[in-house]
Structure 1
Amino acid sequence: MNDTDISVGSRSEASVSGRVEPSMKKLEEGKPRKPKRSIGTILAPYLFSFPAFAIVFVFVVIAALNTFRLAFTDSTLLIPGKFVGFQNFVEVFHDEYFWTAMLNSTLYVVCVVPFMVILPLILANLVRGNSKIMGFFRTAFYTPVVMSAVVVGMIWTNLLDSKGLINSILETTRIIKHPIPFLTDRWLILFSAMFVTIWLGLGYYMVIYLTALANIDDALYEAASLDGAGPVRQFVSITMPGVRSTMVLIMMLSTIAAFRVFNEIYVLTNGTAGPGGEDITMSMLIQQQGTGIQARTGYASAISLIVLAVVGTMLIVQQIVQKRGED
């Protein structure tokens, strides 16, 4: 290659680069420029979320930290108290009411949670569809969820009273000779409250299951029908595996709600926790110890931490069992 060829090549490269650079500039000029965001635009999302964040911070975060602090003091409603270490926890474990409340709350979880997991799923499977009659049943089953605790208490107190509707019907039909003590017997009060809890929660968890059932492909049911599978077989082999993650979620939610039950027992016993306080639950024990002029806020805070530890342990165990079942 001689000098003439080199000079020609360099001129051609220069001419090409000269043509490319203006074209690139035109392309850059043709691109829409991003508008500059003002300070107000940047801060607007944070300003909208600040009230919710402030409420959560004050009434959840600070309250939780204050509960943890009070659990190690002998403070009352009117006296700040002083640091006493683990004295409150030692006293709690020697309190017979605490163990009664622990027994009742644990029994509540064992009896209520299985029904809360299975019955709403069966109910949701029955009311699937877009027909008007199915819409009516879904609304009817969900109605108890939006009812207040006072209304629910009045309804079931009148139904379960010794002179209430249920006993009156049973006595009139001569099925029983004496009224059943739904609201005066220790165990009947507890199981009556469990029934009310299940009645209240069916509609709520049914709606959650309906959302999960909508994600199951209908072709699976059609294929199962062609293979001769009946409704029960389809429910066990298709529906339950299809909503497994939702079942775990509902199990966790119902476990927390059952162990922290308060309204049903309080309303049915008129705040007395049954004869001799034998139907007391953990939440009622916290309420009794932490409210009133003679409230022992430090002692109640210690019980609250124990409840937190127990519920957390239950959730961890459920997660471990779920992972082992999936493996």
Structure 2
Amino acid sequence: MGRKWLRSETFTAWAFMSPGLVLLAVFVVWPILFSIPLSLTDYSVIGETSFVGFDNFSRAFKDPKFLVALWNSLIYVLIVPVLQILSIFMAILVNSKIPGIKIFRTAYYIPVVTSMVAVAIIWNWLLSNNGVVNYIFMSLGIIDTKVGWLSSSSTALYVLMFITTWKGLGYYMMLYLAGLQAIPEELYDAAKIDGASRFKVIMRITVPLLKPYVFFCSLISLMSAIRVFDEMFVLTEGGPGNSTLTSSLYIYQQGIEQFKFGYASTLGLLVSVVIGILSIFVFKFNQKGGVNPY
């Protein structure tokens, strides 16, 4: 029985997964479990550790900077539907059998694999007072004076949301492209014979059959939006003021910069609860679309 199981596909599957599962357990599961008791202390490495109970949680709800950071993270969630809709239509556009289409697919995917530091340098130059964006907008008469896109509290967060959308489009486009190529061509042929327009084909065939991919992409996009960090850390450091301060950046500041690991763990757990609640809404929404049949 033992030798038979060792030769089975189940054992082979677990053997291939085991290195990844070990890394996941050490670097993801264990820190999450350890953060729960840590959130009940004032652990800071450089000082004595003492048990404080739920004081960190009550402090978090009274912390104005954390509330602002959490609100900015929730505003960031607005990019999720925009990003998914644009990605679907981009995938439909590049899912064509025309010469040179692979070049466009590669070009759309380049921002995904580009370092955030390199992206930050490029966008910082484009959005500077004497940058290309101000020059184009002033030439077209859209603006009369130069705008500090990243230095103004009224525009900085939305500019970062645009950069995140631009950088993530290629990633989700590729996922949706994989879904499109799994849809049987016979369905499209039947729709054309019935005289369905291109728009009806997309809405009645393509989008419903992409439901599992929409669910998956929406879920990971939602989590990424709440936990966004790189753009703020590299481009604005949470400023001007706290206009681009997000929950992940604030947790980093409390834990890594100020060594308040107990309080940072508390903030991380609260953000995890928010992500869990929003994820439940994503699950509920996709149940209506019938994810499982496909």
TM-score by length of 2: 0.89
Contact 1:77 1:295 in 2 (8 A): yes
User: Which residue of 120, 125, 142 corresponds with 2:87?
Assistant: 120
Are the counterparts in 1 of residues 68 and 245 from structure 2 also a CA contact under 8 Å?
yes
Pairwise mapping of residues 224-243 of structure 1 onto structure 2 (< 5 A)? 224-243=191-210
The answer for the alignment partner of 1:298 in structure 2 is 262
* Secondary structure of the structure 2 residue equivalent to 1:55: helix
Per the alignment, residue 322 of structure 1 pairs with: 286
Q: In structure 1, how many angstroms separate the alpha carbons of the residues matched to 2:119 and 2:76?
A: 19
In the aligned structure 2, how far is the partner of 1:175 from the partner of 1:247?
35
Is the partner of 2:42 in helix, strand or coil?
coil
Pairing 1:282-297 to 2, within 5 Å after superposition = 282-292=247-257, 294-297=258-261
Unaligned runs of 5+ in 2: none
Superposed CA offset, 1:78-106 (max 9, x none): 23511111000000000111111111111
TM-score, normalised by the number of residues in structure 1: 0.81
Q: Which amino acid aligns with 1:91?
A: R
Shift of 1:72: 0.5
Whether 2:211 is the aligned partner of 1:247: answer no
| Identical amino acids, percent of aligned pairs | 37
Describe the SS at the equivalent of 2:241. Answer: helix
Aligned partner of 2:116 in structure 1 is 149
Query: Cα deviations across residues 171-212 of structure 1 (Å, max 9, x unaligned)?
Result: 345543211221112231111111111111111011111111
Q: Which residues of 2 match residues 53-72 of structure 1 at below 5 A?
A: 53-72=21-40
Contact 1:189 1:268 in 2 (8 A): no
Q: How far did residue 295 of structure 1 move?
A: 1.6
Matches within 5 A, 1:1-327: 51-109=19-77, 111-269=78-236, 271=237, 273-292=238-257, 294-326=258-290
Structure 1 position 256, deviation (Å): 0.3
Q: What is the root-mean-square deviation in Å for CA atoms of aligned residues?
A: 2.4
Go from structure 1 to structure 2 and tell me whether the alpha carbon gap of 1:180 and 1:73 turns closer, same or farther (over 3 Å shift).
same
Deviation at 1:223, TM superposition (A): 2.0
Q: Secondary structure at the match of 1:305?
A: helix
* Cα distance change, pair 188–301 in 1 and its aligned pair in 2 (3 A): same
Gaps of 5+ in 1: 1-33
Distance 1:245 1:262 in 2: 27
Contact preservation (8 Å) 2:43, 2:262? yes
Matched residue count: 285
Structure 1 residues 46 and 78: alpha-carbon distance in aligned structure 2, compared to 1, 3 A threshold: farther
Give the distance between the partners of 1:48 and 1:122, measured in 2 at CA.
36
Residue 53 of structure 1 deviates from its aligned partner by 4.1
How far off is 1:324 after superposition?
Answer: 4.2
1:204-232 Cα offsets, whole Å, 9 max, x none, are 01111111111212122222222222211
Are the aligned partners of 1:72 and 1:87 in contact in 2 as well (CA < 8 Å)? yes
Q: Deviations over 1:46-94 (max 9, x none)?
A: 8876654443332222212221121100111323511111000000000
Report the Cα distance in structure 2 between the residues aligned to 1:187 and 1:244, rounded to whole angstroms. Answer: 36
